[in-house]
Amino acid sequence: MKFKIDHNNINVSDLAASLTFYETTLGLTEQRRITGEGFTIVFLKNAESDHSIELTYLEGHPQKYDLGENEFHMAFRVDDFDAAYRFHKEQGCICYENAAMGIYFINDPDGYWLEILPPR
């Protein structure tokens, strides 16, 4: 058997704000949407990867989610690290920098951390 990572899910408190954030800061676009009674699920991805992010919005949960110690994160590798850094700095979404490791983190509207990695 072979397993391939397909997607990660995160729950969001404001779907419109999250869609704007992920499209603007990471170039992810909506691929498909599932709407049911009290929930909306939106899958985001870009042409650079088969992996997608599933945003789940629950209508009865408008407050931000308790992320505990927020040790969970996703990582994105970028082809032009310096340009990405400048762009995210202008967007005001950099929440942590580790210059010694050559990485930084941005956070989304719900406080999830997203690691930005340079090219290999």
Higher pLDDT, residue 106 or 3:
106
Number of separate domains in the chain: 1
Quick check: is 66 in a domain?
no
pLDDT digits (tens, 9 = 90+) for 38-90: 999 999 999 999 999 999 999 988 788 888 777 778 999 999 999 999 999 99
Which of 5-14, 16-25, 67-76, 85-94 bottoms out in mean pLDDT, i.e. has the lowest? 67-76
> So what's the pLDDT on residue 96?
95
pTM value?
Answer: 0.87
Range of the domain at 86: 7-61+73-117
* Span 29-39, average pLDDT: 97
Three-state SS letters, 49-83 = CCCEEEEEEECCCCCCCCCCCCCCEEEEECCCHHH
- Is residue 23 in some structural domain? yes
Residue 78: CATH number of its domain: 3.10.180.10
